[in-house]
Amino acid sequence: MFSRAELEQSLRLVHAVLPATPQYAWPLLRQRLGIDVIVKHENHLPVGAFKVRGGLVYVDRLLRRQPAVRGLISATRGNHGQSIAYAGHRAGLPVTIVVPFRNSPEKNAAMRALGANLVEAGKDFDEARAQLVELAERTGFEPIPSFHPDLVLGVATYACELFTAWQSLDAVYVPIGLGSGICGLIRTRDLLGLRTEIIGVVSERANAYSLAFATGRPATTDTALTFADGIATRQTDPDALAMILDGAKRVIEVSEAEIAEAIRVYHEDTHNLAEGAGAAALAGLIRERDLRRGQRCGVILCGGNLDRGWAAQVLAGGVPDVSDDPLRHAGNSAVL
């Protein structure tokens, strides 16, 4: 996938633009769970999520191969799109992002603020992604996938920071969208010669990767109706799945209620607001707390971009429900 030298080079590239994010051992989490919990705070990055690391490295390597790139185009529910818009802006390239209808208004606004042109297509991420080829041909822009070795290399820099600071972790829990975050952890752990178990976490309503891990074969689901939109994918990526099958201990499912509760726990114990995907790892650790008593475990708070409507509902004790309408969201859809 990539070498240690490439990882160190990418770490220098990322740190020239972005600060390293903290990894804190929170006393209230230890008191609550009976586990030393190390939170990797990717929500502290300028776009509020870990994906920006991958965007920076991908665009840098792309321009070294193809200096005449006219523009960039990709599909997203929000955080990947912000990463490409951020990196594209730094490189002076126009960026078009394809989002599903009624995508998060606040994530849409964030991508526009970074200079991206947004196009609506499809009811969910997978349908939006299917429009990329046609739009790339029409615009002449370079299509950027949501999973690629260069994206994994970029996001692996957070794993390098975490494992350098805490080499004695018994396990790390990480959410799985398309897989760049968990694959970056797996590869970095192996390059550093560590024995840390890596556990992937998915929503039970977007469980393609847990199904695939159980069978060892690619999986596709009909829907991905979770409010944790950063992990709302319906199909596995073959390259990501191969790495996960080889390097993860297991992939577990958590409920919408467990994700919402983990958001509340983060807010109470660390005063950080996590989005649904960002809280999924902690939800997984809470589910397996009896297994992990007395251990030291990492959790990846991969993003904090939770829309205000859902944040208010969750912090008041509720659970956002998207099951009755795949196009419904907490806020009003922006006109794109």
- pLDDT digit string, tens, across residues 78-123: 899 999 999 999 999 999 999 988 888 888 999 999 999 999 888 8
Residue 273, amino acid? L
For residues 157 and 148, give the distance between their C-alpha atoms in angstroms, rounded to a whole number: 15
Provide the pLDDT for residue 280.
98
Give residue 216's region: left, alpha or beta (phi > 0; psi -120 to 50). left
Q: CATH code for 4-49+149-315?
A: 3.40.50.1100
Q: What is the pTM of this model?
A: 0.93
Provide the pLDDT for residue 325.
52
According to DSSP, the residues that pair with 96 across neighbouring strands are 73, 117
Per domain, the residue ranges of the chain are 4-49+149-315, 51-143
Q: Are the beta carbons of 254 and 201 closer than 8 angstroms? A: yes
Which residues, given as ranges, of the chain have pLDDT below 70? 324-336
164-169 long-range contacts (CB < 8 A, ≥24 apart) are 165/23, 166/23, 166/38, 166/296, 166/298, 167/192, 167/194, 168/296, 169/38, 169/194, 169/196, 169/296, 169/297, 169/298
Give residue 193's region: left, alpha or beta (phi > 0; psi -120 to 50). left
Q: What is the DSSP letter of 231?
A: G
Fold match flag (4-49+149-315 vs 51-143): yes
Which among 155, 165, 151, 150 is positioned nearest to 188, based on CA atoms? 155
Break the chain down into helix, strand, coil percent, rounded to 5: 45, 15, 40
Provide the pLDDT for residue 276.
97
- pLDDT digit string, tens, across residues 169-203: 999 999 999 999 999 999 999 999 999 999 999 99
Provide the pLDDT for residue 127.
85
For residues 286 and 195, give the distance between their C-alpha atoms in angstroms, rounded to a whole number: 22
Provide the pLDDT for residue 324.
57
Q: CATH code for 51-143?
A: 3.40.50.1100
